[in-house]
Amino acid sequence: MAHHDLIIHPLVLRRVHVARMQDITPRMRRVTLTGTQLGAFTQDGMNFPAFVSPGFDDHVKLIFAADGDIASALPVQLAHGIEWGPSESRQGRDYTPRRFDPVTQELDLDFVLHGDGPAASWARDAHVGDELWFAGPKSSTVVPADVDWVLLAGDETAIPAIMRFLDERPANAPARVIITISEESAQHALQLRDEDRVEWVVAEPTDERALADAIARLAALPGTPYVWAAAESRALLQVRRIARTLGAPKSHTNITGYWHQRVGHDETTSQPLVPVLPEQPVMWFAVRAALQLGILDALAAEPLLPAALADRLRIPSTAALAPLLTLLAQGGVLTSLDDGRYTLDRLGEELSEDEHGQERFTGFAADQVLTLAALPDAIAEGGSAWQRSRGVSLRTAVETEPEYFAELLEQAGSLPHVLTGLIHHPIWTGAATIVITGPGAVHIGSVLSGATEADFTIHESTGPLEALRAEAGERDWRFSSQLPPDQDLAVTALAFGHRSDTEVIALLRALAVVAPRALLIERFTPDGLSEAADASHALVDFAAIGAPTRTPGATLRLAAAAGWVVGARQKLGWGIESVELSRAAQRS
């Protein structure tokens, strides 16, 4: 995955109103928003900072309600974050701030007036004085300093970010700009320098090749480029491959699908869907096999005959590949050409460029799904399906399989967005020595580093500890696979989700030996915008650790069972809370 330097912002829900509107092209409307909540403001006794947007491709999430009940769609504002509850009518859309003036408290958003989505429809019908709610931005991407030239590419939805880059120039380097538009009238006047070049490509919005073909014709400049692209997700598949040929490392590549073309969507009937039993998961296993064997990577490079594919993959029998290739072709993952060669079809192309999508079939999540085969015995006799199928607990597997802990580290990557107010927590007072454990330990260390004089230690078992040390980079921190004695405070950072109840209690008891106080920073409820709120994820979690998705009460009972007294709780956002613990008095 690409790693970028980020500026983290407090997540604040803001209410604004339409000040004016301007059609800057026949297809794009600029809506200027204003309101006191664009400045610093106080709400329900909580103080919130003024709106900021330092990054050219920042995005704010506009919030709409399909049924018009906006109150039920809004998140709950916390002191240092927001909490998304469940909502069947919520419609959220991300937009780039085109301009923000902190003096006049005006924010410009540009809307492409195509389609019938909630944001475009709102912008078409907007009137002066209309209300709009939004949250964000949650972070800003820092453009690397070592950039020799810049490629900015996208469709009409990317124009606001591209124009803002050219206005603000976060990288002082020549720019090559390629934009696909549906008609000539959609062109904008851009702030170009003498060394810049721009190409406007007229193409249908459904043309998935136009952007990539234009980039392929580009004469690359010498040196290291920064490649930024945003468009319909399918149109970016080839763009990602071309970016690699331009010599842009992952840290200098930022390619984002801004929207998704609906394929085969039928709105001709209003009849409710009839539930049906699921099919056998044969195709899931076929895709998993294709990824594990390297079939998609091989065919992404060039179409191949089955015999050549078998030879490329060192598979001794072409006949062994035949049923797999046939099923993948029937499922739209591969396609068979007239000359007998196989190549990637639509789904195969998407999957070959989607690392997160691949994890559904071959990663940590896929391995958790495989353990569902042992679910009946786990339910009937107790324990976890993972333990029954693997012979070890999920926690033990995480300690010994680097890729598993790497997945937990990636999941913890959202933690900084809810930690913006953590340094003000009173529990740090008087804590001179602190031990931190869990996949989010480095993020907690980053909050404490430079903001407190405390001496802290990152603790984990040997394998995960090395991953945390690598994530910390060159930071001069202390790391230990043994719990250090005589600590003032112990902190857990998303340490519970991959542990059984028994393992959580064991961890908390071990922490009670070395520290009289603890601070839990754990996910207590699924976030309303997260897939983790889905029932299928809850079942997979149960199979993994042998316990239903823990309620706040269940988690606190584990703390009490480990000998802690539960103190103050504080919601941080996205279902994550902090809980103060103090060691129970020892009985004589």
Q: Model confidence over 224-248: pLDDT tens digits?
A: 999 999 998 888 888 888 888 898 8
Distance set, CA 579 to CA 103, 422, 426 (Å): 39, 12, 12
Q: What is the pLDDT of residue 272?
A: 47
Q: Can you give the pLDDT at residue 481?
A: 96
Q: Residue ranges per domain, the chain?
A: 6-140, 143-259, 282-359, 394-583
Confidence of residue 376 (pLDDT cuts 50, 70, 90): very high
Q: What is the DSSP string of 321-366?
A: HHHHHHHHHHTTSEEE-TTS-EEE-HHHHHHHT-HHHHHHHHSHHH
For 230, other C-beta atoms within 10 Å of its C-beta total: 27
pLDDT score at 268: 34
Secondary structure, 3-state, 434-500: EEEECCCHHHHHHHHECCECCEEEEECCHHHHHHHHHHHCCCCCEEECCCCCCCCEEEEECCCCCCC
Q: Look up the pTM and report it.
A: 0.84
Segment 364-379 shows an average pLDDT of 93
pLDDT computed for residue 379 by the predictor: 92
What's the whole-number mean pLDDT along residues 255-275?
59
Helix, strand, coil percentages, rounded to 5, for the chain: 35, 25, 35
Tell me the pLDDT tens digit for each residue of 157-168. Answer: 999 999 999 999
For the domain with range 143-259, which CATH number is right: 3.40.50.300, 3.40.50.80, 3.90.1280.10, 3.40.50.720?
A: 3.40.50.80
Tell me, what's the pLDDT at 524?
87
Q: What CATH fold (topology level) applies to the domain 394-583?
A: Rossmann fold (3.40.50)
Q: What is the mean pLDDT of residues 197-215?
A: 92
Cα distance between residue 329 and residue 325, in whole Å = 6
What CATH topology corresponds to 6-140?
Elongation Factor Tu (Ef-tu); domain 3 (2.40.30)
Q: Which residues pair with 151 in a beta bridge?
A: 176, 227
**In this predicted structure, what is the pLDDT of residue 150?**
97
- Of the given ranges (151-155, 170-174, 403-407, 572-576), which has the lowest mean pLDDT? 572-576
pLDDT tier, 586 (very low <50, low <70, confident <90, very high otherwise): low
Q: Give the C-alpha separation, 77 to 48, whole Å.
A: 10
User: 282-359: which CATH topology?
Assistant: Arc Repressor Mutant, subunit A (1.10.10)
Separation between Cα atoms, residue 6 and residue 473, nearest integer Å: 15
The predicted structure's pLDDT at residue 171: 93
Q: Give the pLDDT confidence of 468-525 residue by residue, as tens digits.
A: 999 999 888 999 999 999 999 999 999 999 999 999 999 999 999 999 999 999 998 8
pLDDT for 1 beyond 70: no
Tens digits of per-residue pLDDT, 17-74?
A: 999 999 999 999 999 999 999 999 999 999 999 999 999 999 999 999 999 999 999 9
- Segment 531-547 mean pLDDT: 82
Partners of residue 452 on adjacent β-strands: 449
- DSSP secondary structure string for all residues of 3-24: ---EEE----EEEEEEEEEEEE
Residue range 134-156: average pLDDT?
95
pLDDT above 70 coverage of the chain, percent: 96
In contact, 406 and 417? CB cutoff 8 Å: no
Distance of CA 243 to the CA centre of its chain: 21
DSSP 86: -
- Given this model, what pLDDT does residue 419 score? 92
Residue 547 has pLDDT above 90, yes or no: no
Is 117 a residue whose pLDDT tops 90?
A: no
Please name which of 462, 425, 573 lies closest in space to residue 85, comparing C-alpha atoms.
573
Considering only residues 213 and 452, tell me which one the structure prediction assigns the higher pLDDT: 213
- Whether the per-residue pLDDT at 364 is higher than 60: the answer is yes
Condensed to tens digits (0 to 9), the pLDDT of residues 301-345 reads 899 999 999 999 999 999 999 999 999 999 999 999 999 999 999
pLDDT mean over 281-289: 95
At residue 587, the pLDDT reads: 40
Confidence (pLDDT) at 262: 60
pLDDT band, residue 147 (cuts 50/70/90): very high
**Averaged pLDDT of the chain:** 91
Q: Do domains 143-259 and 394-583 have the same CATH topology?
A: yes
Distance of alpha carbon 152 from alpha carbon 332, whole angstroms: 32
Q: Which residue has the higher pLDDT, 278 or 408?
A: 408
- Whether the pLDDT of residue 155 is over 60: the answer is yes
